[in-house]
Amino acid sequence: MNADFSADEIAFQEEVREFLKKEFPADLKAKVDANIRLSKDDMVRWQKILFARGWAAPTWPEEYGGTGWNHTQRHIFATEMGLYGAPEPIPFGMKMVAPVIMAYGSEEQKQKFLPDILASNVWWCQGYSEPNAGSDLASLKTSAVREGDHYVVNGAKTWNTLGQYADWIFCLVRTDNTVKKQEGISFLLIDMKTPGITVKPIVLIDGFPEVNEVFFDDVKVPAENLIGEENKGWTYAKVLLTHERTNIAGVARGKRRLIALRKLAQETQDGVGGAMIDNASFKKRLAEVEIELQALEYSELRTLAALSVGKAPGPESSILKIVGTELAQRMDEMFVELAGYNSLPYVPEQFEEDFDGEYLGPGTTAAAALTYFNNRKLSIFGGSNEIQRNIISKAVLGL
């Protein structure tokens, strides 16, 4: 693998950088730099700017409105977005349900759903996990019973991210209880405005209702919203989750946070008159994180090289997910260590969109606790890291 960019790729990198400087709205840049949570309208506005440029869906095929970029260009784009602080698209529509619709949906479903996903006219959310089906997702109980030209759905989903904003939800539902649990699951698209759906926010430890419980009580869903074949949903779900895990690695975001961590260490005293950046123990840990982040990036590049010759992401996506999320949590711990007692008395309201106070900056002490608490989920969602190690054991080691 040659990690050097060609002249054309370097020119593309400069094009992306220039675009971000000119087109990423200044008010959104200020919010991102100040660790202020972006609103739904903020995220949709930025996504529509990308759509207008033709850059909304780098991973989509050109026939559906994608960019036609190769894997290296996609990597460059994602890296520059992360370093600049520009938010990635909310993944549930663009990166998760859309590829499933493209691969397994009917032509009618593609024409109905894909254009609105591409243009960010519709907000999607995910209905996978349940109160008693998390890491063991195949144990899900939400049922869908076929009655004529529709399904009747009953059950509950949980840890539903940003579902309070969603127009549609893609769900795994049980359509057959008489077979092996993985073989009785179907993939269903459901309009969130359908009668019988109730969304109940779950306030997380950082004070924000990022996730929800979603209840289905005799919800009627047109049979035409079934993706692919009935009882084949587990196959489709595995494809979706493989791509999700690769995306969770977050190399570009990690690089940006590392810059902020180093800056904060320069500004923080070590208690004996020096800066933490010069403390031998802390400097060693900082170097270890930087080395591991670089190793993670090269692993991601090797995965991209494999994809570029037609290979599908396999167990390496689990490796990227484990290392990327655990590395992010280690950086969280270092931010909290630098913040000291300043990380304890945080006020969640100062991170909301209407905050008009002091500039906080990425990784500052005021945001350390919020980020630490929120990112404890990283090693759980997208398939817990313990489950990922089982996948690696089977696929790589043959155990």
Is residue 129 domain-shared with residue 68, that is, in the same domain?
no
DSSP secondary structure string for all residues of 352-383: STT--SS---TT-HHHHHHHHHHGGGGGTTTS
- Whether residue 109 is contained in a domain is answered as no
Among 232, 263, 287, the domain boundary falls at: 232
Query: Which segment of 1-5, 168-172, 177-181, 360-364 scores lowest on mean pLDDT?
Result: 360-364
Give 316: exposed, middle or buried? Use CB within 10 Å, 0-12, 13-18, 19+. buried
- Per DSSP, 134 falls in state S
Active-site option among 130, 210, 230, 244: 244
The pLDDT of residue 164 is 95
Confidence check: pLDDT of 366 > 50: yes
Q: Band of the pLDDT at 112, cuts 50, 70, 90?
A: very high
Instruction: Give residue 176's pLDDT band: very low, low, confident or very high (50, 70, 90).
Output: very high
Indicate whether 146 and 47 sit together in one domain. no
Q: Say if residue 180 is in the same domain as residue 260.
A: no
Q: What is the pTM of this model?
A: 0.83
- Give yes or no: residues 174 and 282 share one domain: no
300 with 163, same domain? no
Q: Within a domain: residue 98?
A: no
Mean pLDDT of 99-128: 96
277 plus 376 within the same structural domain: yes
What's the one-letter identity of residue 300?
A: E
Per-residue pLDDT tens over the stretch 117-141: 999 999 999 999 999 887 788 899 9
pLDDT score at 363: 44
CATH code of the domain containing 325 = 1.20.140.10
Whether residue 281 is found in the same domain as residue 336: yes
Residues 270 and 183 in one domain: no
pLDDT given at position 311? 64
In a domain, 239, yes or no: no
Are 254 and 392 members of one domain? yes
244 is catalytic: yes
- Higher model confidence: residue 240 or residue 386? 386
Q: Does 258 fall in a domain?
A: yes
Final residue belonging to a domain, choices 198, 232, 266: 232
Both 171 and 138 in a single domain?
yes
- Spatial distance between the Cα atoms of 155 and 144, rounded to a whole number of angstroms: 9
Query: d(Cα 279, Cα 17) in Å, to the nearest integer?
Result: 35
Rounded mean pLDDT of 291-302? 87
What confidence tier does 350 reach under pLDDT thresholds 50, 70, 90?
A: low
Q: How many CB atoms lie within 10 A of CB 300?
A: 24
Give domain status of residue 117, yes or no: no
Q: Are residue 59 and residue 151 in the same domain, yes or no?
A: no
Averaged pLDDT, 345-363: 48
What pLDDT, on a 0 to 100 scale, did the predictor assign at position 361? Answer: 43
**C-alpha to C-alpha distance for 315 and 391, rounded to whole angstroms:** 7
Q: What is the pLDDT of residues 280-289, one digit of tens each?
A: 999 999 999 9
Among candidate residues 232, 263, 282, the one where a domain is terminated: 232
**Where residue 250 falls among pLDDT bands split at 50, 70, 90?**
confident
The mean pLDDT of the chain is 87
Per-residue pLDDT for 345 more than 80? Answer: no
pLDDT score of 57: 94
The total number of structural domains in the chain stands at: 3
Query: 387 lies in a domain?
Result: yes
Same-domain pairing of 226 and 253:
no
pLDDT at 268 over 50: yes
pLDDT in tens, 9-46: 999 999 999 999 999 999 999 888 877 788 999 999 99
State mean pLDDT over 312-322: 77
Task: Quote the pLDDT of residue 355.
Answer: 41
Please state the rounded mean pLDDT for residues 291-311. Answer: 78
CA distances (Å), origin 265, targets 204, 269, 270, 301:
28, 8, 9, 29
List the single range of 81-85, 267-271, 335-339 with lowest mean pLDDT: 267-271
State residue 307's pLDDT score: 63
189 belongs to a structural domain: yes
Of 224 and 245, more confident: 224
Q: Looking at the domain assignment, is residue 241 inside a domain? A: no
pLDDT for 1: 44
Could you tell me what percent of the chain has a pLDDT over 90?
Answer: 54
In this predicted structure, what is the pLDDT of residue 172?
96
What per-residue confidence (pLDDT) applies to 199?
Answer: 97
Instruction: Quote the domain boundaries for residue 187.
Output: 122-232
> Is 382 a residue whose pLDDT tops 90?
no
Own/partner contacts of 36-39, CB < 8 Å, gap of 24 or more, are 36/351, 36/352, 36/353, 36/355, 36/360, 37/208, 37/351, 37/352, 37/353, 38/87, 38/353, 39/353
User: Which range, of 41-55, 56-70, 234-248, 316-330, averages the lowest pLDDT?
Assistant: 234-248
